[in-house]
Amino acid sequence: MTSPQMAGKTVLVTGATNGIGKVAARVLTQQGARVVIVGRDPAKTERMAAEIGAARFVIADLSVQAQVRQAAKDVLDQEAQLDVLLNNAGMYLNQRQETPDGIEMTWALNHLGYFLLTQELLPLIRATPQARIVNVSSAAHTMGRIRWDDPEFRLGYSGWAAYGQSKLANILFTRELSRRLAGSGITANALHPGMVATGFAHNNGSRISRVFSLLRPFAKTEEQGAQTSIYLSSSPEVAGMSGLYFSNEQPIKPAPQALDDAAAERLWRLSEEYVNR
Looking at residue 2, what is its pLDDT? 58
Give pTM, 2 decimals. 0.92
In whole angstroms, what is the distance from residue 55 CA to residue 49 CA? Answer: 8
- Mean pLDDT, rounded, for 69-85: 98
Q: Where are the domains of the chain?
A: 10-276
Comparing CA positions, the residue from 170, 142, 182, 6 lying closest to residue 83 is: 6
pLDDT digits (tens, 9 = 90+) for 146-201: 999 999 999 999 999 999 999 999 999 999 999 999 999 999 999 999 865 555 54
CATH 3.40.50.720, domain 10-276, yes or no: yes
pLDDT digits (tens, 9 = 90+) for 238-252: 999 999 999 999 999
pLDDT digits (tens, 9 = 90+) for 109-137: 999 999 999 999 999 999 999 999 999 99
Comparing CA positions, the residue from 94, 87, 89 lying closest to residue 201 is: 94
Instruction: Report, as residue numbers or ranges, the catalytic residues.
Output: 163
Q: Note whether 59 and 31 are within 8 A (CB).
A: no
Query: Going by C-beta distance under 8 Å and a sequence separation of 6 or more, which residues neighbour residue 176?
Result: 261, 264, 265, 267, 268
pLDDT digits (tens, 9 = 90+) for 48-75: 999 999 999 999 999 999 999 999 999 9
> Residue 186: left if φ>0, alpha if ψ -120 to 50, beta else—which one?
beta
Comparing CA positions, the residue from 192, 190, 234 lying closest to residue 24 is: 234
**pLDDT of 203 over the 70 cut:** no
